[in-house]
Structure 1
């Protein structure tokens, strides 16, 4: 089992790789300009980062037919590339947020139901889901905290499961590992 982390130059990217290594998952952090044909992984985590205009080849990685977990900016890239919309959030910076899980059957976040405490930034956020995606989590500060398209194995969370402030972050990575193993 190998899950690579795509580096979008976010401040927590190194923690995503560490979380996977702590779960005994073979992982490598790769730059977002890595050609898609050079990627040999069973799943990808598209990291957060400061700028949607500096996400390299991330859009092309969605066509690799491997499960993808987008975190913060990574989720926004998925939405933007597949026809959803992304815009500035009303709340802005990092905050401790309670996310209501609206689909307890979702393979990524369903096990966190009915709610979970997370650490999230809302400088930008997904405003409209792309076709084929379902809303799986929302909060008082963001209408789309998580989204899911199990048919294509594409998932996104606005929050950062890799940081200590997120209560059940490891469960998100465990669930993503299960998605990759069952694909």
Structure 2
């Protein structure tokens, strides 16, 4: 084979390898905290190219999570308080055992579980909010990259983070009366981001963008 032919072959192989890397399927595992919104989140992720989704209930074991071999994890909303094992199940163990290495997005109870698991406090919101849009201010990075400041987001919660541990930075807030409520956090070292509002709600104008940003970060973590 001529030297030029070898060069063309190697170039073609390099292009093929690059294309395969760019189209590698991301395995996204959902931990379902028995919430009616979980499958809306699954649908949002499934609409993105090159994604494969799986769902385990929060009654699953860490072995079940390990067997799924996820590239990313999403911890769903749900009822209850993160201090109660019956409410969060395996969610807190996943945050402890997997999330330091596997990019993780916590939603609503998922945020509260992260705050609680890493040593913070979760308490009652000034008022329970279920199905109300609020203005969210954010830091413009991570899952909020490229999003308009002060977007509208759907809130469905009666608990909030009242003491965010130092290992997290607050990335988003919303004003409720005279109180400023935590709407987003990001771990300073681990690939963990969480939001208190629901990206998958029709009340959230930029929900698909938030999911796209999270999955883009997963791509970056894999490189």
Is TM > 0.5 for Structure 1 vs Structure 2?
yes
Answer yes or no: is the 8 Å Cα contact 1:88–1:122 preserved in 2.
no
What is the CA-CA distance between 1:137 and the residue it aligns to? 0.7
- Greater Cα radius of gyration, structure 1 or 2: 2
TM-score, normalised to structure 2, is 0.77
Indicate the residue corresponding to 1:91 in structure 2: 127
Select the structure with the greater relative contact order (CA < 8 A; seq sep ≥ 6): 1
What is the CA-CA distance between 1:109 and the residue it aligns to? 1.5
Indicate the residue corresponding to 1:67 in structure 2: 103
Answer yes or no: is the 8 Å Cα contact 1:7–1:47 preserved in 2.
yes
Q: Are 1:57 and 2:90 an aligned pair?
A: yes
Whole-angstrom distance in 1 between the partners of 2:157 and 2:204: 15
Indicate the residue corresponding to 2:115 in structure 1: 79
Q: Are 1:100 and 2:137 an aligned pair?
A: yes
CA deviations 1:103-149 (Å, max 9, x no partner) are 22x21123224221100123001111122111111111242111111
Q: Are 1:139 and 2:174 an aligned pair?
A: yes
What is the CA-CA distance between 1:169 and the residue it aligns to? 0.3
SS at match of 1:108: helix
Specify whether residues 151 and 111 from structure 1 end up closer, same or farther in structure 2 by C-alpha distance, changes over 3 A only.
farther
Task: Compare the two structures and name the one with the higher helix fraction.
Answer: 2
Answer yes or no: is the 8 Å Cα contact 2:37–2:200 preserved in 1.
yes
Aligned alpha-carbon RMSD (Å): 1.3
Answer yes or no: is the 8 Å Cα contact 1:161–1:168 preserved in 2.
yes
What is the CA-CA distance between 1:150 and the residue it aligns to? 5.0
SS at match of 2:182: coil
Answer yes or no: is the 8 Å Cα contact 2:145–2:213 preserved in 1.
no
SS at match of 1:112: coil
What is the CA-CA distance between 1:5 and the residue it aligns to? 1.1
Q: How do 1:115-126 and structure 2 match up within 5 A? A: 115-126=150-161
Give the alignment partner of residue 6 of structure 1, picking from 7, 31, 35: 31
Answer yes or no: is the 8 Å Cα contact 1:6–1:46 preserved in 2.
yes
Residue correspondences, number = 181
Unaligned runs of 5+ in 1: none
